[in-house]
Each structure stands twice: as structure tokens, then as C-alpha cells.
Amino acid sequence: MRGLVSPKGEQFGYVVGGVLYTMDDEPSGRLEKDFIVDLAGNIVWRVVGDGVYALNGMETIGYLTGERADDRE
């Protein structure tokens, strides 16, 4: 599991097995190569390293944390 955190450090999602979830445990998209796509397959954000950026320009959306144990039980 990897967290998705805002530039202010607030977690607003997480990735498990390539699927992006909201903090309410609802799937909202997936990680595909260098992009995050929505459930319909539309590219939403660009991923560069651990950074997540807007498609237009390089506005920082947030960051993916390092891999950690899945403690959502």
C-alpha cells in the first residue's frame, strides 16, 4: 500500500495493487505506467518518480509515499 498525500502532508488517497482509493475506501482510478487514470481510463494526473502532477503544467497534486503494510483492517 502507498499513500497519496497533498503537498501539505495530508493523505487523501492510497494505492493498493495499482488501484487508487479514496480515504472512504472507494476505488477512484488506477496507476498505469506514468499516469493516474480514472475508472473510465481517462488520464487525470502525471506521475514522475513519487510526485503526482497536473497534466497542464507541473502543478503539484501530491506525492506517493513509500510502500508500507496494509493496515486498513
Cell matching residue 42: 481517462
Cell of 40: 473510465
Q: What is the pLDDT of residues 39-69, one digit of tens each?
A: 999 999 999 999 999 999 779 999 999 988 8
Domains of the chain, residue spans: 2-64
Tens digit of each residue's pLDDT (9 = 90 or more) over 13-39:
999 999 999 999 999 999 999 999 999
Quote the CA–CA distance of 39 and 65 in Å, as a whole number.
22
The pLDDT assigned to 58 comes to 79
pLDDT band at 5 (very low <50, low <70, confident <90, very high): very high
The answer to whether the beta carbons of residues 45 and 52 sit under 8 Å apart is yes
The CA distance from 20 to 57, in Å, is 22
**CA nearest neighbour of 64 among 6, 3, 1:** 3
Interatomic CA distance for residues 18 and 32, integer angstroms: 7
Q: At 73, is the pLDDT very low, low, confident or very high (cuts 50, 70, 90)?
A: low
